[in-house]
Every structure is written in structure tokens, then in C-alpha cells.
Amino acid sequence: MARSILITGASRGLGRACALHLAASEGAHLLLLGRNEPALGETAEAVRRAGGTAETFAADVTDRTRLAEIARALGPLHGLVAAAGISGMTPVDQDVNSAGDPTDAFFDEIVAADLTGPWNTVRAFLPRMGPGGRIVLVSSVLGRFGVPGYGAYCAAKHGVHGLAKALALELIGKGIVVNAVAPGWIDTDMAQTGIRQIAAVTGQSEAEFRAQAEDAVPVKRFFQADEIAHGIAWLLDPANTMQVGQCLNLDGGVVQV
């Protein structure tokens, strides 16, 4: 029987890549959550072409009522990937960032999506998961160290690590394995936005900043989302019985712990 795996942030980027990988590798039934309904539909069609099946649910991970409503309508879940998230600059000494976002409001928005969002997701869908379940929370390499101007994003992603550790110990007695992943630079729309904003703040061209960022990675390149999806699939695999409460670094050697 195909496993049912729920993925938040499934309309694009890493969430979409995870859905396609799981469809192609095991014919999984994917429950796709996201805010962009047309894009979710495109992901679902791609999942079906790849050999899986899919259902879509328009939802924001900050909306606990909506998540609970979806959860009540579902059958058993075998896996969950909390991939939804947003990023951006929140300079502590400025009232707005380079994109014109009010700093305090944007700080709250990032933390709500990137840290409280995974908590909301696990809370809502845990009742649908039994022994053998696998949960993966998506953090970031910025959950391992700080970057100037990214206080909210760094804080939220550091928090995801702590959340994964605590939930892992809390749920392992129920036979549910929880881990996190910390990707480095992935070629996604989010990364392109980050490149554009940092380049503007530092007075570089986008090409110059990207070259600098790639040079800081031991393997000297950014990654494709499907490369990261392979690592997430391993954590979701029932064969993974020993990696519990860990954060898998998928960053090309930036962090070595």
C-alpha cells in the first residue's frame, strides 16, 4: 500500500521537489498543502505524472483552525514534511528593510511561518499518525549560525532545531521518528530574492554576490531542490530507525558537526 505523506509549502521550491521525488521513488500518496491553489494543482499534476497520487489543500500554516479542519478529514498519515516558510531581512536598527517591509511586523511574520508553523502542523496532524510515522522539519544552514540582517530567519530556524529535538524525545515512545534538515543555498525563488536583497544592501551586483556565496561553500555551488529531497526522503524512510532528533546538514560542507 502506498504511504500517505503530507507536505506543507508544496506549491513550489523544496516542498514541490519532495513531492515529486516521493512520487517517483515510491508511488506515494501526497497530501499537498500551500497558499497558492493554482500552483498546488500544478504540483499535483506533476506528482501524478511521476507515478504518485495527490490531494491538494489550500492552507496557511499559521491558520490553526484551517489545519485542524483538514486533519479531521484525513485518514492515516505515514509521514509529514514541514517545508513551508518565508525569508527576508529584518535589520534590527531600521524600521523597514530594503524591500520596504516594516521590520517588526515582518519579524513576527517570519517567526509565525517558519517556527510556529511547523509546531502548528505537527499539532494538527499528529492524531493521524501512528507507530512508524516519520516527521521532518525543514530548517536551514542559517539555523546553525547567524547572518547580519537576518535575525528573524536565523532565530526561527535555530528554533526549528530545538523543536525537532524536543518532539523527537516526546514522540519516540509512540514509535514516531522526528528529525530536521538544514539545507544550504538552494536554487529557488526564495534564494533569488535573498541574493537580490543582500546584493542591494552590500552594493554588489547579483552575479557578484552569488559568486561570493558559492565560493563560501566547499563544493563551490548552489544545490537543486531535488538534491535536498533525497536527504528528506531518507529521513522519511522506515529503514531509518537510528537517526532520531538529529539535524541532517545538506549544505555542501559549510557546517561540519
Q: Which residues are catalytic?
A: 153
Backbone φ and ψ of 136, nearest 5°:
-125, 125
> Which of 186, 101, 112, 181 lies closest to 152 in space, CA to CA?
112
Tell me the residue type at 12: R
CA dist 76 and 39 (Å) reads: 25
Cα distances from 13 to residues 9, 86, 122, 124, 145, in angstroms, run 8, 11, 21, 23, 23
Tell me the residue type at 123: R
Beta-carbon contacts of 91 under 8 Å, excluding residues fewer than 6 positions away, are 97, 103, 149, 151
State the pairing for strand pair 53-58/77-82.
Answer: unpaired
